[in-house]
Structure 1
Amino acid sequence: MTRPSVAPATAAAPAPVVIPHSLTEDAVAIFTGVLLISVGVAFFTSAGLLTGGTAGLAFLLHYATGIGFGKIFFVLNLPFYWLALRKLGRAFTVKTFIAVLLLSLLTEVQSQLLQFAQLQPLYAAIAGGLITGTGFLVLFRHRCSLGGVGIAALYLQDRYGWRAGKVQMAVDCCIVLLALWTVEPVRVLWSIAGAVALNLVLAMNHRPGRYMVV
């Protein structure tokens, strides 16, 4: 009588090794991400468009008051550092503060470094959104953000598993719609296209469990 064969037990897959980013890698990533975002901001500003989040509020105040986008953006982010420090840690808060300060400085001198003789608004919205989304993706993957809605989106993703891209897309579209009181409707529509392009980059590439970092 033959003994029934028993399938060998499947060995448990080893836990993936998570290698922390070095300080140099974080520094290069922050500069890269912020530089990309500053180019996207230049696209939006040159075409008279908006974006969402804290940057969207900064755009609205910039168009309404004439005060530089960078100055307004830096001030608007100040209240969010408390949430970042309490919920996301000191390292995240420090990196976010550096990124916000760097973007504020870059956008203040951007007109001297980058100028457009002609820029079609719809192209500016889509290209600017994709470039900005890529910059945000770089920052997010190094546990950094540009404050404001980005901090809230990352907190909700870590706490409840909500995708940061979807959270930011919902908030961004609401903020852009508020611009109907100050910006002509057709530019608001182009701005929404830019917000969708930006957040599609995040929704498709920044998912819980897809990319591990400490």
Structure 2
Amino acid sequence: MAGQPKQVQKRSLGFYSIDPSKHTLLEDAQGLVTGAMVAALGFYFLNKVGLLTGGTAGVAFLLHYAFGISFGLLFFIVNLPFYYLSFRRLGLAFSLKTFIAIGLVSVISEIESRFFLIDYLHPFWAALLGGLLLGYGLLALYRHRASLGGVGILAIYIQDRFGIQAGLIQLAFDLCVMLCAFAVVSPVTVAWSVVGAVVLNLFLAINHRSDRYIVVR
């Protein structure tokens, strides 16, 4: 019994926190790395067959398909303007972890094709797996107070400033991305991309609840 307080303190400062509402540095690190790896794999499936998704990733995909520029580089650059809003609205810790997560996804997206290659992938399967993997990756990042894009932050800012619902702003942005996609990809590709986006958002709507998972508070 005499050694119990030291053991509790060691657990709290080491591998995991005994407080369910807080994470240790190591817990955050593994959450960011694994979340980024899973999300990057989701992007790989979408990119493999030329699909898109919503948010800043959708903008990066549009530019990637239109001009042939690296998706990973574009994904990192497109998110840069949103960091200031992130810092003002959600604080330094969230902004820093989001910056790290986006940087990891950008790097992993560039190197993962060197480790495995898929010869054939049907667009439906790419949309389904891509949406689910992005959902899992985002869920891991959300649990550790991070994200993969700035459109949601911008939507919150506009809601506070002008009273327009953030969900409507996010939806309008994603619709604009899909409409612009008609200029660079086929209508069938846009349709499969919408399927992937629906899978992603349904997965998050079902599994991401702050009243169920207190670690996201």
TM-score normalised per structure 1: 0.82
Cα RMSD for the two superposed structures: 2.6
Q: What are the Cα deviations for residues 156-175 of structure 1, in whole angstroms up to 9, with x where unaligned?
A: 99xx9x897x8756643442
> Which residue number in structure 1 is paired with residue 12 of structure 2?
none
> Which residue number in structure 2 is paired with residue 110 of structure 1?
112
Q: Distance in 2 between matches of 1:169 and 1:209?
A: 24
> Which residue number in structure 2 is paired with residue 11 of structure 1?
none
> Which residue number in structure 2 is paired with residue 141 of structure 1?
143
> Which residue number in structure 2 is paired with residue 36 of structure 1?
38
* Selected match of 2:69 from 49, 67, 70: 67
Classify the secondary structure of the residue corresponding to 1:81. helix
Q: What runs of 5+ residues in structure 2 fail to find an aligned partner?
A: 1-18
Higher-helix-fraction structure: 2
User: Contact conserved, 1:172 with 1:195, CA < 8 A, in 2?
Assistant: no
Aligned residues: 196
Q: Distance in 2 between matches of 1:194 and 1:205?
A: 17
Assess, with a 3 A threshold, how the Cα gap between structure 1 residues 163 and 27 changes in structure 2: closer, same or farther: farther
Q: What are the Cα deviations for residues 68-100 of structure 1, in whole angstroms up to 9, with x where unaligned?
A: 001111111111000110010100000001001
Q: Distance in 2 between matches of 1:57 and 1:18?
A: 36
Larger radius of gyration: 1
User: Contact conserved, 2:152 with 2:166, CA < 8 A, in 1?
Assistant: no
User: Contact conserved, 2:127 with 2:196, CA < 8 A, in 1?
Assistant: yes
Classify the secondary structure of the residue corresponding to 1:21. coil
Q: What runs of 5+ residues in structure 1 fail to find an aligned partner?
A: 1-16
Amino acid at match of 2:90: L
Amino acid at match of 1:185: P
Identity %: 52
Assess, with a 3 A threshold, how the Cα gap between structure 1 residues 63 and 130 changes in structure 2: closer, same or farther: same
Question: 1:13-28 to 2 correspondence within 5 Å?
Answer: 19-28=21-30
Assess, with a 3 A threshold, how the Cα gap between structure 1 residues 123 and 155 changes in structure 2: closer, same or farther: farther
